[in-house]
Amino acid sequence: MNSSDVKATLSFSDGSPSMDLPLYKGSIGPDVIDIRKLYGQTGKFTYDPGFLSTASCNSTITYIDGDKGELLYRGYPIEQLAENCDFLETCHLLLYGDLPDAAQKLDFTARVSSHTMVHEQMQFFLRGFRRDAHPMAIMTGLVGALSAFYHDSTDINNPVHREIAAIRLIAKMPTLVAMAYKYTQGQPYMYPKNNLSYAANFMHMMFANPCEEYVQNDVLVRAMDRIFILHADHEQNASTSTVRLCGSSGTNPFAAIAAGVACLWGPAHGGANEAALNMLGDIQKMGGVEKIGEFIKQVKDKNSTVKLMGFGHRVYKNYDPRAKLMRETCHEVLGALGLHDDPLFKLAMALEKIALEDDYFVSRKLYPNVDFYSGIVQRAIGIPVQLFTAIFALARTVGWIAQLNEMIGDPEYKIGRPRQLYVGAQQRSVKPVGQR
Ligand code: CMC
């Protein structure tokens, strides 16, 4: 971290001594004020629910400029990665800091491919779930259970264990998601095929069955791969911060990633793609495009809890660059499948147009995020709505691991332990039950 010559001075109106706080400069983005000595010197904490103004770590992985609508992985714009690279190259970039050359790409692909199968016993573990369980409930369990199956890669402080756990997680997530899907369908699991690309192999495990091969459609495989790239990392979002916090206790990598999966499930985070598609379905049932006005009225009503799912973002106060790419992919996929008249896609386009012109959304800088179009793409590919968030988890796994590794390698890392402003009862005495 580069110190700045400028210092921030904190002063108090009650005459308590003021305090100088160091300032650090990032390579891009806002400077940060170092408050680590604040409590020691003033006896006071800072208060920042939701971390609106708090940097919890320093990181070299992902940078977002929310006002410009810019996203960089290790300095590379997401648009260039989406156009020129595949998901495994993106994984290499996030994990090791740079894009692979041709030999490194071959080696990395071979390493990932050699770990795509899961322990045979895992299918019996999976059988313990109800067939109608939500795939994210199953995924939370399966990912956590990996630590029960791969004992030789559970020491988070051992770089060799971390490396093998990283490769295993990236390689096995598609297998686990496909198994969770097949289980809910009552179909046999399909073993991975390592001669296929990462995305094509996932689609094979999803859509083939022992009687029928999966016939690869290059446009759809490319769309799946792009979904993976666009979701691979997103700096210190809720699930990534959860992974870091969980990992900071020294727990094993599989347990930390399972915590990320659990966090991602929420509708304000990864669950938004499922919620966005369900919302479009509900508007369609209400009467479609004609009912958009009525729906928007509900969203704007202060007394309603209805939100325009797939809109708004904590960091982006401009069009999410991932949403632009996803919109483009949406056109390609619907075109390739002859679905350009898809009613939900038309509804989404009309809804987006109306919302982007409405003062409620304009004044709050609410723009479409990646989830607004990703659901339509996935549905067109044949992915069931309930599986959308599990696919997000599959893609985000590499980001979670890269962030976890970065934290463990950071000499300044400590167990995460926020403080609080206590506003509860002061000390009091317990009365016998008859006197309460
Ligand atoms: N629909 C209607 N109003 C909204 C929406 C929305 N989608 N998002 C924010 N607002 C309003 C909010 O009610 C508030 O209005 P007011 O100032 O009148 O109280 C204002 O905009 C600011 O919102 P906020 O809740 O303070 O913003 P936040 O940064 O805490 O929340 C968010 C960000 C993503 C949780 C929120 O925008 C949201 O719930 N969006 C819908 C869910 C969604 O699409 N999530 C996916 C995020 S992208 C994928 C990912 O990274 O996980």
The residues facing 19 across adjacent strands are 10
Edge-first strand listing for the sheet containing 2-10: 2-10, 19-25, 32-33
Calculate how far, in angstroms, residue 308's C-alpha sits from the geometric centre of ligand 1: 8
Residue 156 pLDDT: 87
From the candidates 115, 161, 313, 320, give the one annotated as an active-site residue: 313
Question: What is the rounded distance in angstroms from the CA atom of residue 369 to the CA atom of residue 317?
Answer: 10
Question: What is the rounded distance in angstroms from the CA atom of residue 354 to the CA atom of residue 346?
Answer: 12
Residue 319 pLDDT: 87
312 ligand 1 Cβ < 6 A: yes
Residue 152 pLDDT: 84
Q: How far is CA 67 from the centre of its chain?
A: 20
Q: Closest residue (by CA) to atom 10 of ligand 1?
A: 312
Q: Closest residue (by CA) to atom 16 of ligand 1?
A: 364
Calculate how far, in angstroms, residue 71's C-alpha sits from the geometric centre of ligand 1: 19
- Could you confirm whether 371 is annotated as catalytic? yes
Calculate how far, in angstroms, residue 306's C-alpha sits from the geometric centre of ligand 1: 11
User: Beta strand pairing status for 32-33 and 62-65?
Assistant: unpaired
DSSP secondary structure string for all residues of 149-200 = H-GGG--TT-HHHHHHHHHHHHHHHHHHHHHHHHHHHT-PPPPP-TTS-HHH
Residue 1 pLDDT: 74
The alpha helices in 237-358, defined as continuous H runs, are 238-247, 253-264, 272-286, 292-300, 321-336, 343-357
270 ligand 1 Cβ < 6 A: yes
Contact 181, 206 (CB under 8 A): yes
Nearest of 75, 319, 329 to residue 199 by alpha carbon: 329
Q: Closest residue (by CA) to atom 34 of ligand 1?
A: 313
Contacts (Cβ under 8 Å, ≥6 apart) of 89: 81, 99, 100, 105
pTM for the structure as a whole:
0.93
Residue 3 pLDDT: 78
Of ligand 1's listed atoms, the one at least distance from the Cα of 320 is 48
Residue 2 burial class via C-beta count within 10 angstroms: exposed 0-12, middle 13-18, buried 19 and up: exposed
Which tokens go with 399? Answer: 């980001």
pLDDT tens, residue order, the chain (436 aa)? 777 788 999 999 999 999 999 999 999 999 999 999 999 999 999 999 999 999 999 999 999 999 999 999 999 999 999 999 999 999 999 999 999 999 999 999 999 999 999 999 999 999 999 999 999 999 999 999 999 998 887 888 898 999 999 999 999 999 999 999 999 999 999 999 999 999 999 999 999 999 999 999 999 999 999 999 999 999 999 999 999 999 999 999 999 999 999 999 998 888 888 889 999 999 999 999 999 999 999 999 999 999 999 999 988 998 899 999 999 999 999 999 998 888 888 898 899 899 899 999 999 999 999 888 898 899 999 999 999 999 999 999 999 999 999 999 999 899 999 999 999 999 999 999 999 9
269 ligand 1 Cβ < 6 A: yes
- Could you confirm whether 301 is annotated as catalytic? no
